[in-house]
């Protein structure tokens, strides 16, 4: 059993590197493919399959900032990193930008250990108390985000259009609706704009890790924002890492380095605590948690100990892998044709949507890409497009309280 778990941990880390580096290949897709293949994997212990999902998911949260910052191809958990990340990239500091997100993810690991027992003992009662208020909490967070915009009406339109598109996606016969929806909203649209603007990448400066630091005050602000917002948002459905980062940065203002640290930290914390939430209140708050629930049927305390231990080990290993990969990206990015690379990634996103989806899925992909382009060109923050997830959740909780 131990050998199977260790092998699952290693293979999961490798899979997480793949999903993290390949825009559009989300861990939810790999998890879905694994669930479809369960009949062929009957000889593998369920806990080993669960460890594979966990290590892949945690590794993904470390690595997925690399394409987000270097290629401008974010996912729903990394799109907020584009602004400070690309700003540093254009200055030749893309490697440093990724390292700050990796620092955030690394410091998330002890936070996960601290909050795990708190979630186990206090979350069930807390969730029962606020369960009926969830749609109104989501509505409040969304309203606050919209009111922070310069053009409130435009942001509201983006939020509502995204919500309608998300609701339609989840109610159409599409196998994996998140793939065309999110890869269009946050991936393909960004790449088109990058291609249109003829982005040129400056030669990157690869500083020694020991010299990549932030001020103590910036670090404490970023860490405090992570401690406040990530656990709070980790058990609320429809609330992404982006919303948690927005809430944290609104309460405790961040500079570029601190914000990158914050987004990295929150990304990892929310993913890991979604597994604790699954054990504590039997609710799935991520695609990975859904897959684990399907595999294990019921998550026991012993399962949770293995899951959290795997998360910590995978996180530590992923930090060093992330450093190596970011260094390679920084070293070779300016030596390749960025325009051709962008076109390749765009064709890749289109191909996987055609392969893994149907005609309706491709239609959603095209529509969501158009909405993403409109949002970027209108200078509305892309967090408003998270209405694609929030509005369906609000409708669900109001319909089935």
Question: Cβ of 171: how many Cβ atoms within 10 Å?
Answer: 10
Q: What's the CA gap between 294 and 54, in Å, rounded? A: 14
pTM for this predicted structure: 0.80
Cβ-defined contacts of 395-398 (< 8 Å, 24+): 395/167, 397/134, 397/135, 397/138, 397/237, 398/135
Structurally, the chain folds into a number of domains equal to 1
Using CA atoms, how far residue 261 sits from 267, 350, 358, in Å, is 10, 31, 38
Give the rounded distance of the alpha carbon of 353 from its chain centre: 19
Interatomic CA distance for residues 362 and 180, integer angstroms: 7
* Tokens 């825009």 sit on residue: 23
Give the pLDDT of the chain (401 residues) as one tens digit per residue: 788 999 999 999 999 998 888 765 667 667 766 766 666 666 788 899 899 999 999 999 999 888 878 876 555 454 554 567 767 877 788 899 999 999 999 999 999 999 999 999 988 888 888 878 888 888 888 888 788 778 889 999 999 999 999 999 989 988 778 778 877 887 788 778 777 766 566 778 888 888 888 888 888 888 888 887 777 777 777 666 766 777 777 777 777 788 889 889 988 998 999 899 999 988 877 778 888 988 888 899 999 999 999 999 999 999 999 999 999 988 887 676 767 777 887 888 788 788 878 888 899 999 999 999 998 888 887 778 888 888 988 888 888 76
Q: Which domain holds residue 121?
A: 2-399
- From first CA to last CA, the distance across the chain in angstroms is 41
Contacts of residue 136, defined as CB under 8 A and 6 or more positions apart, other chains included, come to: none
């Amino acid at each position: 059993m131990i050998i199977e778990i260790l092998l699952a941990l290693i293979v999961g880390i490798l899979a997480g590197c793949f999903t993290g580096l390949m825009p559009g290949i989300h861990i939810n897709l790999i998890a879905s493919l694994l669930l479809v293949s369960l009949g062929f994997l009957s000889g593998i212990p369920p806990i080993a399959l669960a460890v594979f999902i966990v290590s892949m998911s945690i590794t993904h949260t470390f690595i997925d900032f690399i394409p987000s910052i270097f290629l401008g191809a974010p996912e729903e958990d990394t799109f907020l990193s584009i602004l400070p990340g690309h700003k540093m990239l254009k200055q030749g500091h893309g490697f440093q930008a990724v390292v700050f997100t990796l620092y955030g993810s690394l410091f998330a690991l002890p936070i996960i250990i601290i909050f795990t027992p708190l979630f186990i003992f206090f979350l069930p009662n807390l969730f029962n108390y606020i369960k009926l208020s969830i749609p109104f909490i989501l509505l409040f967070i969304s309203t606050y985000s919209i009111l922070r915009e310069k053009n409130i009406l435009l942001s509201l339109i983006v939020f509502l259009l995204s919500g309608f598109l998300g609701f339609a996606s989840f109610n159409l016969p599409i196998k994996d609706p998140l793939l065309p929806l999110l890869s269009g909203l946050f991936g393909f649209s960004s790449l088109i704009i990058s291609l249109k603007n003829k982005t040129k990448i400056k030669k990157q400066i690869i500083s020694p890790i020991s010299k990549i630091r932030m001020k103590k005050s910036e670090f404490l602000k970023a860490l405090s924002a992570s401690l406040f917002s990530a656990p709070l948002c980790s058990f609320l459905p429809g609330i992404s890492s982006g919303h948690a980062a927005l809430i944290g940065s609104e309460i405790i203002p961040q500079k570029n380095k601190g914000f990158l640290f914050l987004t990295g930290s929150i990304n990892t914390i929310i993913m890991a605590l979604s597994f604790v939430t699954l054990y504590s209140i039997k609710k799935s708050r991520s695609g990975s948690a859904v897959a684990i629930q399907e595999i294990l049927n019921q998550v026991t305390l012993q399962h949770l100990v293995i899951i959290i231990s795997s998360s910590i080990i995978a996180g530590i290993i992923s930090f060093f892998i992330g450093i190596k990969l970011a260094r390679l990206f920084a070293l070779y990015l300016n030596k390749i044709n960025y325009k051709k690379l962008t076109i390749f990634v765009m064709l890749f996103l289109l191909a996987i949507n055609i392969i893994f989806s149907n005609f309706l899925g491709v239609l959603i992909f095209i529509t969501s890409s158009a909405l993403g382009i409109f949002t970027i060109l209108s200078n509305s923050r892309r967090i408003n497009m998270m209405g694609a997830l929030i509005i369906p959740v609000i409708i669900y909780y109001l319909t089935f309280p």
